[in-house]
Every structure is written in structure tokens, then in C-alpha cells.
């Protein structure tokens, strides 16, 4: 009976997942490969065909064979892209500003906007085929979400930090991110 209970516990346990990669259907593989490698800095790790369609694997991390996969075959008649967004983390607001400087003058990038979420600073934009991307870095704070404050990435990094700090200290739920993460870790451990 103890073995049956142990087996059930093992089978019922929640298995932690973390983001690994995303694959998107595209209209123009060479154009999208150029954007993801030249503008966003990904490296092509492999390429080939799958079920007759061109496929390109890209990554920023040598330990990940692929993080973004580009696959030919996106229907022209599809009125919207079924992917909400692809999000990529950077280490600091300075890194976020470097990406912004690199992307902002791309002629086919649209809907670019910076957002201060309190717990993260984000740059949103659409790639040349309209897929929404988010490049973000974490802050040291937590405030209740959602929070959508405009973020001017042309400001100095110190000015961004100071403005965000002042705003967050007045926002509902304000506390250090480490406190919030400890609370979530307890919820995860309890299974809810």
C-alpha cells in the first residue's frame, strides 16, 4: 500500500517547466533570418527542410540548439498571427537600451513602445512580418500587475531607475522582488 501511495505521488507531482524555444511560421525565410540574425543578434545553428518547408534554427546560447525557429509556410490570408508575443530577457536596462538603439531605425519594425511594468522594463515591437516581440529586463521591485506605464528609453539608465523607483514606491503591492519571489516559491511548493 505504501508503494502504491508513493507511485501515485510521483505520477501526480507537478513537473516544473521553463521557456525553451519558439517556432513561428513566416512568409519570407531569408528576410526573417536576416532580421533575427543581423538586428537581434541570433546565430543560425542549423537549417534544412521539414515536410518540404524550409526551416532555420537560431540561438543566442550554445547550450540551446535553438531558441527561435523560422519555418516557411505562414498563410498569406491569415489576418493575424496566432502568437501573442515572444519575450527575451536581457540583464540590465543598459542592455535594453542597446537593443532599442539597434532596433529603432529598422524600416520594417512597427508598433515600438517602451513600457515600465514596475517589475520589469520592456521594449515591445513587431518584426518585419508583424510578430510581436518583447525584450525586457527585471527590476528590483514588485508591484501588482498589470502595470503599463510609458517608458522613455532615450533617458539615461539612472534616470529610468529613479523615475521607476519613485513610481513603484507609490504603487499597490510595492515590495522588493526577492520578497515577492519567496512568496511565489512557497505557492509553487504547495502546488497552487
Asked if 143 and 173 touch (Cβ cutoff 8 Å), the reply is yes
- The yes or no reply on domain 20-74 and CATH 3.40.630.30 is no
Q: What is the pLDDT of residues 137-180, one digit of tens each?
A: 999 999 999 999 999 999 999 999 999 999 999 999 999 999 99
Q: What is residue 189's predicted lDDT score, i.e. its pLDDT? A: 77
Residues in the chain, how many? 192
pLDDT at 83 over 50: yes
Are the folds of 20-74 and 85-192 the same?
Answer: yes
| CATH of range 85-192; options 3.40.50, 3.10.180, 3.30.160, 3.30.450 | 3.10.180
What are the residue boundaries of the structural domains of the chain, listed by start? 20-74, 85-192
CA-nearest of 60, 72, 70, 74 to 20 is 60
Asked if 60 and 42 touch (Cβ cutoff 8 Å), the reply is yes
Q: Where does the pLDDT of residue 16 fall: very low under 50, low under 70, confident under 90, or very high at 90 and above?
A: low
DSSP result, 130-152:
S-EEEEEEE-SEE--S---EE--
Q: Where does the pLDDT of residue 85 fall: very low under 50, low under 70, confident under 90, or very high at 90 and above?
A: confident
Q: What is the pLDDT of residues 33-81, one digit of tens each?
A: 999 999 999 999 999 998 899 999 999 888 888 999 999 988 888 766 6
Q: What is residue 5's predicted lDDT score, i.e. its pLDDT? A: 54
Amino acid at each position: 500500500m505504501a508503494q502504491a501511495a508513493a507511485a501515485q505521488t510521483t505520477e501526480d507531482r507537478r513537473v516544473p517547466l521553463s521557456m525553451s524555444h519558439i517556432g513561428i511560421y513566416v512568409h519570407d525565410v531569408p528576410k526573417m533570418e536576416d532580421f533575427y540574425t543581423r538586428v537581434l543578434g541570433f546565430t543560425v545553428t542549423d537549417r534544412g527542410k521539414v515536410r518540404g518547408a524550409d526551416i532555420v534554427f537560431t540561438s543566442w546560447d550554445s547550450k540551446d540548439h535553438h531558441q527561435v525557429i523560422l519555418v516557411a509556410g505562414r498563410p498569406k490570408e491569415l489576418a493575424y498571427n496566432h502568437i501573442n508575443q515572444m519575450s527575451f530577457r536581457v540583464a540590465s536596462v543598459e542592455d535594453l537600451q542597446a537593443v532599442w538603439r539597434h532596433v529603432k531605425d529598422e524600416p520594417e519594425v512597427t508598433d515600438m513602445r517602451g513600457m515600465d511594468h514596475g517589475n520589469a522594463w520592456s521594449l515591445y515591437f513587431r518584426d518585419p512580418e508583424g510578430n510581436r516581440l518583447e525584450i525586457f529586463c527585471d527590476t528590483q521591485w514588485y508591484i501588482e500587475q498589470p502595470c503599463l506605464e510609458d517608458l522613455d528609453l532615450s533617458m539615461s539608465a539612472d534616470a529610468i531607475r529613479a523615475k521607476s523607483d519613485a513610481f513603484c514606491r507609490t504603487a499597490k503591492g510595492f515590495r522588493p522582488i526577492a520578497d515577492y519571489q519567496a512568496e511565489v516559491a512557497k505557492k509553487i511548493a504547495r502546488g497552487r
